[in-house]
Structure 1
Amino acid sequence: MISPGLIDKVNIQVYNTAKCAVGQEWNYSNIISPFSRIYLITEGEGYILPDNNMIKLKPGYLYLVPSYTLCGYHCVEKLSQYYLHFSHSLPDGLKIFDQLAITQEVKAMPIDLHLFERLLEINPTLCLKHSDPNVYKKSSWKKNQMEHRPNNVQLETEGIIKQLFSRFINSDNAEVLQLQKQSFIKKSFEYISNHLYEEIRIDALANLACCSTDHYTRQFKKITGMRPMEFINRKRIEKAQELLITTTMSQKKISEETGFNSQQYYTRIFKKISDCSPEQYRKMGGLI
């Protein structure tokens, strides 16, 4: 759980936002994006499939697809929506979704429509040029940087995004997560984030938590749903996905930068987690 006050230090970067209507061509599978996406559905019917869980898209509801989530999209006939693509990071490099319990579907508040309309009003040039991930290339979203916008626009944009994002925070489990993660797992997350490019030993993580390796592994899986090495590999692949679409680094260099001891092992783990090769991911931009 994020410490009280630290949520104010979350760095927000908006990449795309607009209102659009799509049809049956909005039908994609096995897409992984390096940013998070929020949708406000205004008309029509469709589905998203984050991690193969089918969620029906309904008018008047907000939907969140966290960054690096394997997801599919399907429109039944027609679908009208507002969309927002953004990134978020904490000063220590941790990911928000490692520390917050979230839901992915919430009923929109009356003000949310006005928030999206205002977001588009002050950011009129951030619409997607293409919605097909096989066409929409990496350069399209990287150049939409907020740093070159007036300070008042940056501040208002970040405020709106935080309001919309706050709708998805699951307060029911917040207290339990705070106790568990503050006392046991937070140091592990920080260590993993800061040492991705190095060998990470499970016994070293257990020592940080002041417990045996077996106990640490059991508790880590209880909290995260993954064994420590599975979690580490997932974070390494997330970093590799980011480097693939934001740099021209070679696959060998990326495998080294993300802590894999061989390019062959890097490719195998990438395919297992991303359902495509690193080359395929770079070619399509990893986006929707």
Structure 2
Amino acid sequence: MQPVRKPFHLEPNFPFELVYKGVRHVEDEWPDHLHDLYEVVYIHEGRGTFFIDHALYDKRPGDLFLIPGNTVHRAFPSTDEPVVSTALFFSPALVQAVSLNDGFEPLRCFEVARQTKQYKIALPEPVRTRIEAAIHAMGNEITEQGSGYRRALWLQLEQLLLELDRHPFMQEAASSAIGIGPHWIQAALRDINSDPIRCGGLAELAIKACVSASHFSRVFKQLTGMNVTDYVNAKRLVRAKELLLSTDDTIETIALLCGFQGMRHFYDVFKKLTGVTPKMYRRQQQAK
């Protein structure tokens, strides 16, 4: 059975959703599914099992799970001890908009999880306390919706991702990755993440890194699991989807603004990564 794509109804200018301390029952859960959004799941109470990317993980209080975009997953709560969990969903663009060049990459924890295929994170007690505090603060902001509540949600999300980025497991995995992919790959990833439209393709990135294109391509795929073109296109597609929903620009204009080489190229990439054409995506989302 093919996984289904879970729909979301998010505002284009704030692509974020929080399900705070939801009680999960077997009959409520989706079958095998995926979605474009990145997801963080924290277990407060209960027991169960998580199926993520062909592996099963036990769920226990205090467990945290990282689910990168377009990763197949499914939850199996216990019938005797239903899971109480908080789930955060957000678009990568929400946390990639600002870079202070201080070494913090908001999505690095997800990239490490995908690379190592380790989606469950064991939290030391001090980190767990801080993450629970951030989640609790988010729950209050969603409930009260006072002035600046979206800004507060964004700040708490950044704080949570910063805590995870500083986690010893992430630091060790990053160090291991650097052993495979040296500093010039890390610099290239930062360039792509900060500006996927003007970062250039394989040739330009390799020249900037002062290595051959073939060597750059080989090391890049070892680190990310993707070739350079697919990785850059995936990042560009995030921006294209935002413009499709937040503007009335023509699809051709959006394709050019997002760095695609003509309409055919844009349509082919868009359908390959989302399963629908840009026109159909815009129509489906506007009809919700």
**TM-score interval for Structure 1 and Structure 2 normalised by the shorter chain:** 0.5 to 0.7
Distance 1:37 1:260, change over 3 A: same
- Aligned runs of 1:166-245 on 2, under 5 Å? 166-167=166-167, 169-193=169-193, 196-198=196-198, 200-244=200-244
Is 1:64 the counterpart of 2:73? The answer is no
Task: Give a deviation string over 1:251-273, Cα, whole Å, max 9, x none.
Answer: 33332222112233222212222
Q: Which residue of 1 aligns with 2:150?
A: 145
Structure 2 SS opposite 1:126: helix
Q: Which residue of 1 aligns with 2:134?
A: 119
Structure 2 SS opposite 1:20: strand
Q: Which residue of 2 aligns with 1:37?
A: 40
Distance 1:221 1:121, change over 3 A: closer
Distance 1:173 1:154, change over 3 A: closer
Q: Is the 8 A contact 2:206 2:212 kept in 1?
A: yes
| Residue in structure 2 matching 1:101, options 88, 112, 132 | 112
Cα distance in 1 for partners of 2:42, 2:279 equals 29
TM-score (norm 1): 0.67
Amino acid at match of 2:83: L
User: Mean alpha-carbon deviation: is it higher for 101-110 or for 89-98?
Assistant: 89-98
Q: Is the 8 A contact 2:131 2:163 kept in 1?
A: no
How many Å apart are 1:119 and its aligned residue? 3.3
Amino acid at match of 1:81: S
| Residue in structure 2 matching 1:18, options 17, 20, 23 | 20
Q: Is the 8 A contact 1:192 1:232 kept in 2?
A: yes
Distance 1:188 1:172, change over 3 A: closer
Amino acid at match of 1:126: I
Cα distance in 1 for partners of 2:198, 2:160 equals 38
Q: Is the 8 A contact 2:21 2:44 kept in 1?
A: no
Q: Is the 8 A contact 1:17 1:126 kept in 2?
A: no
Q: Which residue of 1 aligns with 2:8?
A: none
Distance 1:27 1:112, change over 3 A: farther
Q: Is the 8 A contact 2:51 2:73 kept in 1?
A: yes
Task: Give a deviation string over 1:193-243, Cα, whole Å, max 9, x none.
Answer: 465335934222221122222222222222322222122222222333444
- Alignment RMSD (CA, Å): 4.0
Q: Is the 8 A contact 2:67 2:110 kept in 1?
A: no
Return 5+ residue gaps in structure 1 as ranges.
Answer: 1-12, 128-142
Percent identity over the alignment is 18
Task: Give a deviation string over 1:89-128, Cα, whole Å, max 9, x none.
Answer: 333696633996344202344556654553354331427x
How many Å apart are 1:45 and its aligned residue? 2.0
Cα distance in 2 for partners of 1:193, 1:259 equals 14
Q: Is the 8 A contact 2:106 2:165 kept in 1?
A: no
Larger relative contact order (Cα-Cα within 8 Å, sequence gap ≥ 6): 1
TM-score (norm 2): 0.67
Cα distance in 2 for partners of 1:118, 1:110 equals 12
Amino acid at match of 2:232: I
Structure 2 SS opposite 1:27: coil
Distance 1:73 1:201, change over 3 A: same
Q: Is the 8 A contact 1:239 1:258 kept in 2?
A: yes
Distance 1:85 1:274, change over 3 A: same
Return 5+ residue gaps in structure 2 as ranges.
Answer: 1-14
Structure 2 SS opposite 1:196: coil
Amino acid at match of 1:122: A
Cα distance in 2 for partners of 1:271, 1:173 equals 33
Distance 1:199 1:207, change over 3 A: closer
How many residue pairs were aligned? 251
